[in-house]
Amino acid sequence: SLRLVQELEGHEDRAWGVAWRPCGGSSVLASCSGDKTVRIWEHASGSSPASATWACKAVLDSSHTRTVRQISWSPNGDMLASASFDATIGMWEYVGGDFSFIASFEGHENEVKSVAWNSAGTLMASCSRDKSVWIWEVLPGHEFECVSVLNGHTQDVKMLVWHPSLDILVSTSYDNTIKVWTEDGDGDDWHCAQTLGPPGRGHTSTVWSASFNATGDCLVTSSDDLTLIVWDTSADLTNSGSDDSAKWKHLTTISGYHDRTIFSVNWSRLNGFIASGAGDDCIRIFVESESQESAQEGSQSYELVHKHEKAHTADVNCVQWHPKDPRLLASAGDDGVVKIWELVGELPPALSATS
Amino acid sequence: MAPALINANPVVHEKKERTAKLQANYNDSSPDVIDELEIFDHVRDITDPEHPYSLEQLNVVTEDSIFVDDSKSYVKITFTPTVQHCSMATIIGLSLRLKLLRCLPPRFKVDIFLAPGSHSTEAAINKQLNDKERVAAAFENPNLVDLVEKCLVSTEE
């Protein structure tokens, strides 16, 4: 089950997102809110991150004039980018335990909803209600240059996520589809390699979030249609042949578990657990089941291993596994609270099998 | 020149007689159970965005168009704009949402829909009104908030 480690209070409006700093022992957590701020939380040095010693170390309140919708650390943990409804991306540098504001980047016409770094930290992507996805190149001296504006979605773009090792970008949208963007061989020329969605098997309402597994051969997406979908993303999309073998495919739909919109899904890179956060105030944890039955059918299935009711007293907007400790999970809710959870007790055998 | 009204001559209905909520209900030690009538009382006096009449007088909302399940902390409102192409449907929906956001305990989940067949772009408006990110962004837009706040000034006052 999930044990509440600590409730982090301080945001004065709904908490939209959380992001663990990916390095330095991952003892730093950032959160963002409708109160226009980003809060930085740290646990006491020398203590376990699973102990209730987390405290607010900084409030970054000078960069945005409207809701901060999402935050994202650069892979080396030196920079924190924020996506805001004020149509800008904020950029903070984190050096020696202190944050300094670098710049805000303009270009989107209205609400920026997500920002994400590629695995090498050389590219950043942003998306907006203006339906576009922008790719920014990270240049020396904290310079960011927009190298591509990608149009293709017919409605707001909700969230971006990069492949864990390749320069492949995934965007999810209010238009019910997921788009996969890749770069042509000669650089700076990005295009939509595939659209996952109707017609065919896909989501039937807004796709709110997406997350790759550790190797990047599977992607899970969450939707307002109350389902999670797992996609087989092992096909090489740069293989330009248009035959079906070079396409990403629908693997399985996880339905019947969620009662309201699934705002967030996160696949642990450490043990294969999938956590979801939904508008029914619950956090759920799924794991791939290795039953004989599913193997015979030739399709994977996922089982619910834990459902935590009333994880927040309102919608759960974001869930995020800790990058180093496989038992830790952070969540953000409409109640304005950020929570840190520890997975305790007997874990299914799948955990050891996939770790 | 003032812009032409979308529905220049709406049908105006009588207001329902008000049933005062029993005082005992408030003093009771048991928690106050929220029902359809209470929700209706919260929204009936919202002013239509383009007429000096309330949503009740224009039959945009009725007690029957509200569903409440207190045990599940759930409210669903179905509203009927006065004309099929009413461009004010979004404003009416946002007014209902803001009013309930202020009146209801935060445990409540609220869904707001157009009555089936009542609008030419029903699906698109329903999707927008029930996407909380779009709604949150709308409530940060001063021009929209201004329009919505005007609707929340009760016709009774």
Chain B positions touching A67 (Cβ under 8 A) are 136-137, 140
Residues A237-273 pLDDT 10s: 876 555 666 899 999 999 999 999 999 999 999 999 9
Domain ranges of chain A: 11-275
Instruction: Tell whether A36 lies on the interface with B, counting CB pairs under 8 A.
Output: no
B127: contact with A, CB 8 A cutoff: yes
Phi, psi of A167 (to 5 degrees): -85, 65
Q: Is A113 on the interface with B (CB under 8 A)?
A: yes
**Probe site for chain A from B110, B131, B143 (most A CB atoms < 10 A):** B131
* Confidence (pLDDT) at B155: 58
Strand partners, A20: A29
Say whether A87 sits in a helix, a strand or coil: coil
Per cent of chain A over pLDDT 70 is 91
Which residue, chain included where needed, has tokens 């908030």? B145
> In this structure, which CATH number among 2.40.40.20, 3.30.300.130, 3.40.50.2300, 1.10.3720.10 belongs to the domain B33-152?
3.30.300.130
The pair phi, psi for residue A155, each rounded to 5°, is -145, -175
Which segments of A45-177 does DSSP mark as H helices, in order? none
Structural element, H or E, at residue A329: strand A328-333
Residues 98-117 (B) with a CB less than 8 A from some CB of A:
106-107, 109
Res A301 pLDDT > 50? yes
Burial state string for A288-311 with b = 16 or more CB within 10 A and e = fewer than 16 = bbeeeebeeeeeebbbebbbbeeb
What CATH superfamily is the domain A11-275?
A: YVTN repeat-like/Quinoprotein amine dehydrogenase (2.130.10.10)
DSSP state of B3: P
Q: Pick the more confident residue, A281 or B13.
A: A281
- Whether the predicted pLDDT of A286 surpasses 60: yes
What is the average per-residue pLDDT within B47-59? 93
Give pLDDT, residue A345: 83
Is B75 a residue whose pLDDT tops 50?
yes
**Among the listed residues A110, A94, A92, the one whose alpha carbon sits nearest the alpha carbon of residue A102:** A92
The SS3 call for residue A273 is coil
Locus of tokens 């021009």 = B143
Which of A88, A108, A156 to mutate to probe the B interface, most B CBs <10 Å?
Answer: A156
Closest to A92 (Cα-Cα) out of A55, A18, A142, A21: A142
Q: Where are the domains of chain B?
A: 33-152
Rounded Cα gap, residues A83 and A112, in angstroms: 5
Whether pLDDT at A351 is above 80:
no
Please judge whether A113 and B133 are an interchain contact, meaning their C-beta atoms are less than 8 angstroms apart: yes
CA distance B94 to B82: 16
pLDDT exceeds 70 at position A77: yes
- The predicted-structure confidence for A144-174, as pLDDT tens digits, reads as follows 999 999 999 999 999 999 999 999 999 999 9
Average pLDDT score, chain A: 92
Single pTM value for the model: 0.93
**Alpha carbon distance A172, A82 (integer Å):** 18
pLDDT tens by residue, A23-53: 876 689 999 999 999 999 999 888 888 889 9
SS3 for B21? coil
Residues contacting residue A161 through CB under 8 Å, at least 6 positions apart: A116, A169, A170, A209, A210, A211, A212
